[in-house]
Structure 1
Amino acid sequence: PAAVERAFDVSVRDYRGKMGQLFYASPHQPAVPEHLHAEVSGLGRILSYTPHHLSRPDHIPLDVPDRGLGPDALLRTYNADELVRNGVTGKGITIVIFAFDGFRQSDLDKFTTMFGLPQFTPEVIGGSPGEPRGELSMDLQVAHAIAPDARKVVVNARPTVEGGGGYRKIGEMLEDTDRRFPGAVWSFSIGWGCDKLLTAADLSPVRSALRTAQEHGTTAFNASGDLAGMECRGGQDWSSPPSEQDVGLDSVASLPEMTSVGGTTLSTDPDGEWVSEQTWFDVPLSQGTGGGVSALFDLPPWQRLAAEAVPPERHSGKRMTPDIAAVADPFTGVKIVLDDQVVVGGGTSQAAPIWAGLTALMNQYLLDNGGSLIGEINPLLYRIAQGAPRPAYRDVTLGGNAVDNAGPGYDLVTGLGTPDVDNLLHNLQIAQKVQG
């Protein structure tokens, strides 16, 4: 620390966090010395603690299980049921879920028995992430409900937040996962800290690993967060009014290569046929879909037309999130089993594995019909939104979170909207043929 202080002319201090964690940090961001500008593009934060959290609502209601979607209704809601009836069940595709907590096999067994699905035991890489707290079990069940024949893999992400070097460790974890399971679909329902705490240099190992995996056919989905656009708000003090410093994104979810998934409140008919969706925002619980503008990354070329729907002073030429959305309201969510009880899942951490499961179906179909794995999906999603033979999204125009409002076209709470999978798949197939 003393050498770092001298080299960069900053102070390095010891801290104890509110949860008891001990770490060192500099209250000032070091600058690259002028004579090194040609060789050093940027510096990360001087920080030995990697902030992290589960993207999961604090409240999962036990009193509304009958309102939850079963697997058939979930598939019908997003127009993927005909695919499954024609034998597209995710066979040959791997879904990887990165987790901080564990799962109970008995919950998975009861879930599959209840809905007549094939039983499964996920493959766990790196040992159990920890005690079952509901998040991982929900992710696994939601993905299995959509793609029951896909291979399910759990990667223990807990070591990335033990000790320093967290973002380098995240990059190494992604590289190892890509080597083991090339072309898999990835789902993240965890967060690694507010983007305002970091620099782009901090995240460069993560971004590099993600790009390499996408070259091998991987598509990655990350929950946009459940704090209604205030992912930078620390602690549990919800009684004080929000400040500008509270507004922000989860750092890894904001990567241009990551597909950020926002959340909706869903309405269906009794059979699960889609009726409408609006932005998920539960004011009494201080929960809602995450989203907003990156503090770190410039607006990608494929988002420029979408940015025309957002006031220029709001996006300021920076990466916008989320990209797409799915149901996240715990009162309109998916039926799952936790601690041997049938409950209803929720949060954008439910929306991310929904998209992962649907992508597994689309990947299988494309491979079975002369196509290829989707890989990096963001440029394709936005290109399809600009004009395609079939309408691929249900535009969510009602509601908002604590920061932004929904509206026609792209918005900073539900992105491009929720999927009509049959139409989206048809458009993806055409795009792959055009690309050769």
Structure 2
Amino acid sequence: MSRVSLKGSEKNAIPHAEALTGKGDAPNPDKYIEVTLSIRRKKELPDSATPNSAMSHEQLEQDHGIADADLAAVEAFAGEYHLKVTEHRSLVHTIKLAGRLEDMEKAFGTKLQNVRLENNVFRQREGSLTIPSQLEGIVEGVFGLDDRPAARPRFRPSAHTAAAFTPLQVAALYNFPPGDGTGQVIAIIELDGGFNNADLTQYFSSIGVSRPTVVAVPVSGGTNHPTGDTQGPDGEVMLDIEVAGAIAPKAKIKVYFAPNTDKGFLDAINEAISDPETPAVISISWGGPEDKWTSQSRNAFEKAFQNAAALSIPVAVASGDNGSTDGSGHLDVDFPSSAPHALACGGTHLEGSTSITKEVVWNSQGGATGGGVSRFFPKPAWQHNINVIPPPTHAGGRQSPDVCGCAAPETGYKVRVDGTDTVIGGTSAVAPLWAGLIARMAQHLGRRVPFLHPILYTHPTAFHDITVGNNDTGGAAGKYPALTGWDACTGLGSPKGLSILGLLGQAAPPAGNGGTIGGATANQ
């Protein structure tokens, strides 16, 4: 049987990891593991730049799910290699296979190895996967053979707490519409850590709002497991819940806990998208440098976000906390916020009491808002009038972030983590901030919020334009300055909540991209 390489599946060894080659160090060939396959759609989605066209789950699955012939081909392949189909979700075009590790290696033409990194042992693979030629074009990605960590949380504990805000104070400064999220569901993706119910009860009582209903949803073996470390992943989980929950306390908050692997991350996103309790918004505060992800991962996540857009589920994603390089040593953007259908959320340093007195690019305490240009995703239609200044060599890509909000740790958010009242910032806080705004807007509209990008980019006056600062973190790779209009630090700007709500009452944005965006003047 002829085999072909699976495009985009190439992986390198885990940097700085120690290969375990002693007797008994190889992965157990009889270990039972599960993989997730990303399968092509039977028909591609229409242009999601058209707002107010939400599909139902049923319509999306019927028109754009997995073709019966493709499912049959994968089932036949699984049987040949002694693997079992444990789940297939046509809605999100995934099929899960389970079986012995040795059979998985044979099925996908790879060899797995155990390595040690920072006192943890991970399973890794190198090079490309292969699949039978009859599956070429059908199988677009295979996730779960390798279980190395996929992402990091995007939060920053503060060294100074005097100027911190509650989430409600930030919402007031941004003129969020009144509301409490009644009838809405907010989905939050977490890849480690957990929440403590006693802390949530005390926190929400301390800021004078009712405690929201918070439900932990286990995905692919992930669980709500607080570590007790206020500087660890619990800080991310509690920050996300407390920011979104303070702004929308009557919303149900569903926290999808998955392992920190590419499979776990993708599974959690797809679980939220396909949940019968359709969320009003998905909030993601985890990511990593875009060029560290495989092409199959980038494409699978973007397809998931396209599905979310078709269902009118905005996906707010933190843009990273390591400036214009994303910590990589060269100009780079954070993924998955760089996916075109993610609402990439950058960060600012915000000051004010009853009104904003200062708002500049967040660049402090060793961190800065992520932003720049994707090397892998082309510039989408709704960004055709914006240009990064100064332009990098890869200036034709998707540009990030789209929007921003309060993120500087020194003017961060008052939260409670593992029994301790503390202050946390980072772009991790901006994703749940926008999630809370979207939940309030959905409450006002009486329907889910449509795909936002084409609407927001045609109405730059619905934002506080940030024109001071840059996202250079001291590297030699370069920086992006704040500009009048869109820029690669703060996107369109921070929200004028009521103005954005007003835009959503319109049937559709005007043709073309009006406004002054990123230094390029268009019709106004």
User: Residues 110 and 39 of structure 1: is their aligned pair in 2 closer, same or farther, counting only changes over 3 Å?
Assistant: closer
Alpha-carbon distance in structure 1 between the residues aligned to 2:167 and 2:316: 20
Q: 1:213 aligns with which of 304, 308, 311?
A: 308
What is the RMSD computed on CA atoms of the aligned residues? 3.3
1:292 aligns with 2:383: no
Deviation for aligned residue 1:17: 3.4
Alpha-carbon distance in structure 1 between the residues aligned to 2:471 and 2:509: 39
User: Residues 355 and 414 of structure 1: is their aligned pair in 2 closer, same or farther, counting only changes over 3 Å?
Assistant: same
SS at match of 1:376: coil
More off after superposition, 105-114 vs 198-207:
198-207
Q: Please name the residue that 2:185 is paired with.
A: 94
Q: Please name the residue that 2:497 is paired with.
A: 421
Question: Which structure shows the bigger proportion of residues in helix conformation?
Answer: 1
Alpha-carbon deviations, 1:233-288, whole Å to 9, x = none? 3xxxxxxxxx32xx3223222111111101000011x33x1122111011xx4211
Structure number with higher relative contact order (C-alpha < 8 Å, ≥ 6 residues apart): 1
Q: How does 1:96-245 map to 2 (within 5 A)?
A: 96-99=187-190, 100-126=192-218, 127-132=223-228, 133-158=234-259, 160-161=260-261, 166-167=262-263, 169-180=264-275, 181-191=277-287, 193-233=288-328, 243-244=329-330
Alpha-carbon distance in structure 1 between the residues aligned to 2:418 and 2:495: 31
1:260 aligns with 2:335: no
Is residue 389–residue 481 contact of structure 2 (8 Å, CA) maintained in 1? no
Deviation for aligned residue 1:7: 12
| 2:240 partner amino acid | D
Deviation for aligned residue 1:351: 1.0
User: Residues 340 and 434 of structure 1: is their aligned pair in 2 closer, same or farther, counting only changes over 3 Å?
Assistant: same
Q: Please name the residue that 1:237 is paired with.
A: none
1:250 aligns with 2:334: yes
Deviation for aligned residue 1:187: 0.6
Deviation for aligned residue 1:422: 0.8
1:336 aligns with 2:415: yes
Q: How many residues end up aligned between the 2 structures?
A: 393
Q: Which has the larger radius of gyration?
A: 2
Q: Please name the residue that 1:79 is paired with.
A: 175
User: Residues 313 and 344 of structure 1: is their aligned pair in 2 closer, same or farther, counting only changes over 3 Å?
Assistant: closer
User: Residues 249 and 304 of structure 1: is their aligned pair in 2 closer, same or farther, counting only changes over 3 Å?
Assistant: same
Is residue 272–residue 279 contact of structure 2 (8 Å, CA) maintained in 1? no
Is residue 31–residue 43 contact of structure 1 (8 Å, CA) maintained in 2? no
Alpha-carbon distance in structure 2 between the residues aligned to 1:333 and 1:117: 19
Q: Please name the residue that 2:69 is paired with.
A: none
Task: Mark the runs of 5 or more structure 1 residues left unpaired by the alignment.
Answer: 234-242, 386-390
Deviation for aligned residue 1:358: 0.7
Deviation for aligned residue 1:93: 0.9
**What is the TM-score with the length of structure 1 in the denominator?**
0.80
Question: Which structure shows the bigger proportion of residues in strand conformation?
Answer: 2
User: Residues 412 and 36 of structure 1: is their aligned pair in 2 closer, same or farther, counting only changes over 3 Å?
Assistant: farther
Deviation for aligned residue 1:129: 4.6
Q: Please name the residue that 1:236 is paired with.
A: none
Q: Please name the residue that 2:150 is paired with.
A: 51
Alpha-carbon deviations, 1:25-53, whole Å to 9, x = none? 43x668999x9999489778996524321
User: Residues 20 and 433 of structure 1: is their aligned pair in 2 closer, same or farther, counting only changes over 3 Å?
Assistant: closer
